[in-house]
Amino acid sequence: MSIETPMRDLGKGKKANAGDRIFNRTITGAAFTSLIILAGITVFLGAKAGPVLQEQGLSFLTETMWDPLGVPPEFGIAGMLYGSLLLAVIALVISVPVSLFLAVFMVFMAPPKVSKILTNLVDLMAAIPSVIIGLWAFYVLVPPAQEWQQLLNQYLGWIPLFQNESGNFTGTPFIGGVVLAIMMVPIVTSITAEVLKRTPPELVNAAESLGCSMFTMLRYVALPFGRGGIVGGVMLGLGRALGETIAVFFVLKLVFDINFYKIIESGGGSIATLIVSKFGETNGEYEVNVLLASGFFLFLMTLVVNAIANLIVARTDRLKS
Amino acid sequence: MTILMSESPPVLEKDLEPLRPWSKRPASFWLAAFLGSVVPLAILGALYLTTDLAVALLLIAFYLPMQLIGAGLAGYFAKGKHGIADSAIIVFAIGATALSAIILGSMLLTIIVRGIAAFRPSFIIQNSTYISPSTPLEYGGIGHAILGTFLIVGIATIISVPFGIATAVYVTEVRGRAVPYVRFFVQAMSGVPSVVAGLFVLTVFILTGVLNTSAMAAAIAYAILMLPTIARTAEEVLRLVPEELRTGALALGSTRARVVLNVVVPAARTGIITAILLGIARVVGETAPLLLTALKNDQTVLNPFTDPISALPTFIFDNVAQPYPDAVTRAWGAALALLIIVGVLFTITRFISARKPRR
């Protein structure tokens, strides 16, 4: 039983009441705020990024330098762009298995009461501000994390990934990735748990009555059913990880050279962190514009990731209902 | 039929034993479960006491494999071959849960324990005028930062709530043609990094000279971050309002606008409050936009237009890496204050949404 004529059509006939018409228009106008803001961000940051790109050329995206006082000043943020991606990949590798198993535990294993408590704890974890996570990471996580990295280097140092020549284990991409993983886990977990909960109970029961083990049920029923939603959730978490600024600021040593794969070598890049750390010490308007241009590319990156994530989630939602 | 029955089914009977979850478990299962859970722990304890290998190494290189083998054996005794994969899943699931619980517990515990050290009445009330990082804890406080947070978040709420609820009303009540697009843009907006929101306000309002670096500028950046949260939560809440309420009000002769304003929105009142609180909780700890739009100020600022202003996140940010222990303690204290605010918001939303809606 729903109202037959959609409200949007009321403005057309003469029957429509003047109040309704005004109401409709106001609400419709206000509903487009998000579009206006998104367009505004694109236009205004794009307008600042354009001249910078023109002046620096493509080397702005492919070179690694930060020379605001040079004549002419030269900038290249390749290291930062790559660093952001590297951090996000490390965070993904750590957080996705943890989130999946945590969600499986919450949905299929824990008794209902425990599951409810865990849901609340995961939400609480998601609500903790990033600056607090950064503070905690700086003082509590970093000392043991350095130890872990030394162990990694000691026993697995023959793998190029775990090389470290400087002997300095502070401010590595690994620690940054771990902090991002801690921030991603609650996001990915809550979406994954939500998706797994929606597995039709008759499918789960059928699998169990056929004698499927937990592993078989997960592998052939729950995960295939929730795959789209889970991938979407991971992408949303990835978008958050790419844009995270403050928590990474405390634990990562920013260097402009590209740190390609040595994840436990001191120094890495993050474009969001770059903006905050350079903003306080800019030399003149041009460098501010360079930061705005960097922000523009960060915005584009997260926008693409989020759009893909939302499309995946929306498509699987439609298929289900 | 009888002919079919007489042909005994081949192989299956012997190979595939049914699980029979109702059957009593043999003693060997309990023995295996006991050994599988206790022995690895005991070996871990023994290794920890006798060698000086790092705990992390012990856990990952010794305990985890042993636990997997132990649980695998227990699973094999209990359910046969497919018990092994199951037990591995159980070990990893419990491991992941324990890991997350330890991290959350460690966070809350450190913040409470270290933050308490800074807490005293003066710390809550006073501002930080004339306070340097090395000043002892007896002087100065975060009063200005708490006020700053309230001021910025308050203005941001006033700005974002009408737009957020209007967006939700458009999607659920007006049901215009652009609904899929509006929802897409709101979701895209929820992915805007906070630092980009700060940069946007910086370009549009501060670099053009419309606003100073002030609470107002920061509030606009916060409002941009709050809007999607409020819109999405309010949308879900408005969907829950029963259709009968709308049709009933229409039947009584009210106009469509009146139905929304006087019936639907009031019916979803508590849910909308939850949406607003979730929006506030989303932004209250955001630091990056403040660093770009509000900077810092050691004095109490009440005018949202004129001066730079400090808030709790920026106060924490400024004091984290100071070489003076007292400054760091102040940061922990401010973190505790921020955590309390987040915790209160979180508890209220849980409390509201746990209550059964009145009929």
Residue A40 predicted with pLDDT over 80? yes
DSSP characters over A106-135: IIIIS-HHHHHHHHHHHHHHHHS-HHHHHH
Per-residue pLDDT at A2: 47
CB distance A64 to A56 below 8 Å: no
Domain annotation for chain B: domains and CATH numbers: 26-116 (no CATH), 143-354 (1.10.3720.10)
What residues of chain B lie within 8 A of the CB of A2, using their CB? 243
Residue tagged 């592998």 (tokens): A219
CB distance A167 to A264 below 8 Å: no
Instruction: Please name which of A233, A252, A194, A222 lies closest in space to residue A92, comparing C-alpha atoms.
Output: A233
Whether residue B139 lies within 8 A of chain A, CB to CB, comes out as: no
Distance between CA atoms of A86 and A91, rounded to whole angstroms?
A: 9
**Cβ of A30 and B191 within 8 Å?**
no
User: Among all residues of chain B, which has the CA nearest to that of A10?
Assistant: B256
User: Among all residues of chain B, which has the CA nearest to that of A99?
Assistant: B96
Calculate mean pLDDT across residues A267-291.
88
User: Among all residues of chain A, which has the CA nearest to that of B160?
Assistant: A33
Calculate mean pLDDT across residues B94-112.
93
Per-residue pLDDT at A64: 86
**Cβ of A23 and B260 within 8 Å?**
yes
Whether residue A125 lies within 8 A of chain B, CB to CB, comes out as: yes
**Cβ of B79 and A213 within 8 Å?**
yes
Domain with CATH 1.10.3720.10 in chain A: 78-320
Per-residue pLDDT at B353: 78
Q: At what angle do helices B325-354 and B143-169 cross, to 10 degrees?
A: 30
**Cβ of A275 and B195 within 8 Å?**
yes
Which position has the higher pLDDT, B163 or A259?
A: B163
Per-residue pLDDT at B13: 44
Calculate mean pLDDT across residues B165-169.
95
- The rounded percent of chain B whose pLDDT value lies above 90 is 52
Q: Residues B23-74: pLDDT tens digits?
A: 666 677 777 777 777 888 888 888 888 877 777 777 877 888 888 888 888 7
Instruction: Please name which of B297, B284, B324 lies closest in space to residue B154, comparing C-alpha atoms.
Output: B284
What residues of chain A lie within 8 A of the CB of B86, using their CB? 213-215
Paired with B195 in beta bridges are none
| Greatest mean pLDDT among A35-49, B27-41, B83-97 | A35-49
User: Among all residues of chain A, which has the CA nearest to that of B248?
Assistant: A3
The residue type found at B243 is E
Per-residue pLDDT at B25: 67
Where does the pLDDT of residue B4 fall: very low under 50, low under 70, confident under 90, or very high at 90 and above? very low
**Cβ of B107 and A128 within 8 Å?**
yes
| Top CATH class, A78-320 | mainly alpha
Calculate mean pLDDT across residues B275-280.
94
Calculate mean pLDDT across residues B330-348.
94
Cβ burial, residue A248 (10 Å; 0-12/13-18/19+): buried
| Residue to test with chain A: of B179, B203, B222, B261, most A Cβ within 10 A | B203
Residue B354 predicted with pLDDT over 50? yes
DSSP characters over A36-80: HHHHHHHHHHHHHHHHHHHHHTTHHHH-EEEETTSSS-EEEEHHH
Q: Residues B254-268: pLDDT tens digits?
A: 888 899 999 999 999
Q: Residues A208-231: pLDDT tens digits?
A: 888 788 888 898 889 988 888 898
Distance between CA atoms of A214 and B75, rounded to whole angstroms?
A: 12
Distance from CA of B165 to the nearest CA of A (A): 9
Distance between CA atoms of A142 and A134, rounded to whole angstroms?
A: 10
A 228-287 → B contacts, CB under 8 A: 236, 239-240, 242-246, 250, 272, 275-276, 279-280
Instruction: Please name which of B278, B327, B318, B322 lies closest in space to residue B294, comparing C-alpha atoms.
Output: B318
Per-residue pLDDT at B1: 42
Residue B137 predicted with pLDDT over 60? yes
Whether residue B101 lies within 8 A of chain A, CB to CB, comes out as: yes
CB distance B93 to A101 below 8 Å: yes
**Cβ of B256 and A20 within 8 Å?**
yes
Residue tagged 């849980």 (tokens): B350
Where does the pLDDT of residue B20 fall: very low under 50, low under 70, confident under 90, or very high at 90 and above? low
Nearest to B320 among A24, A140, A250 (CB): A250
What residues of chain B lie within 8 A of the CB of A1, using their CB? 243-244, 247
Where does the pLDDT of residue B294 fall: very low under 50, low under 70, confident under 90, or very high at 90 and above? very high
Distance from CA of A36 to the nearest CA of B (A): 9
CB distance B157 to B348 below 8 Å: no
Per-residue pLDDT at A1: 38
A 200-229 → B contacts, CB under 8 A: 211, 213-216, 218
Q: Residues A80-111: pLDDT tens digits?
A: 999 999 999 999 999 999 999 999 999 998 88
Distance from CA of B160 to the nearest CA of A (A): 10
Nearest to B187 among A218, A299, A310 (CB): A310
Per-residue pLDDT at B359: 46
Instruction: Please name which of A236, A289, A260, A287 lies closest in space to residue A81, comparing C-alpha atoms.
Output: A260
Per-residue pLDDT at A216: 87
Nearest to B196 among A41, A136, A310 (CB): A41
B 17-76 → A contacts, CB under 8 A: 18-19, 54, 56-57
Where does the pLDDT of residue B6 fall: very low under 50, low under 70, confident under 90, or very high at 90 and above? very low
Average model confidence (pLDDT) for chain B?
A: 86
Print burial letters for B100-115: b (CB count within 10 Å at least 16), e (below 16): beebbeebbebbeebb
A128-137, A286-295, B41-50 — which is least confidently predicted?
B41-50
**Cβ of A101 and B92 within 8 Å?**
yes
Whether residue B213 lies within 8 A of chain A, CB to CB, comes out as: no
Calculate mean pLDDT across residues B228-234.
94
Per-residue pLDDT at B174: 86
Distance from CA of B328 to the nearest CA of A (A): 10
**Cβ of B257 and A118 within 8 Å?**
no
What residues of chain B lie within 8 A of the CB of A6, using their CB? 174-176
CA max distance for chain B: 100
Q: What is the DSSP letter of A264?
A: T
Calculate mean pLDDT across residues A242-246.
90
* Six token digits for residue B173: 């009540």
Distance between CA atoms of A82 and A89, rounded to whole angstroms?
A: 11
| Residue to test with chain B: of A27, A34, A124, most B Cβ within 10 A | A34
Residue A135 predicted with pLDDT over 90? yes
Distance from CA of A132 to the nearest CA of B (A): 6
Task: Give pTM, 2 decimals.
Answer: 0.89
Write down how long chain B is.
Answer: 359
Provide the terminal-to-terminal Cα distance of chain A, rounded to the nearest Å.
Answer: 19
The residue type found at A89 is V
**Cβ of B193 and A292 within 8 Å?**
no
- ipTM of the complex as predicted: 0.91
Where does the pLDDT of residue B140 fall: very low under 50, low under 70, confident under 90, or very high at 90 and above? confident
Calculate mean pLDDT across residues B212-225.
95
* Six token digits for residue A256: 């402009």
**Cβ of B256 and A148 within 8 Å?**
no
Handedness of CA A227, A230, A234, A235 (dihedral sign): positive
User: Among all residues of chain A, which has the CA nearest to that of B18?
Assistant: A211
Per-residue pLDDT at B11: 47
Per-residue pLDDT at B99: 92
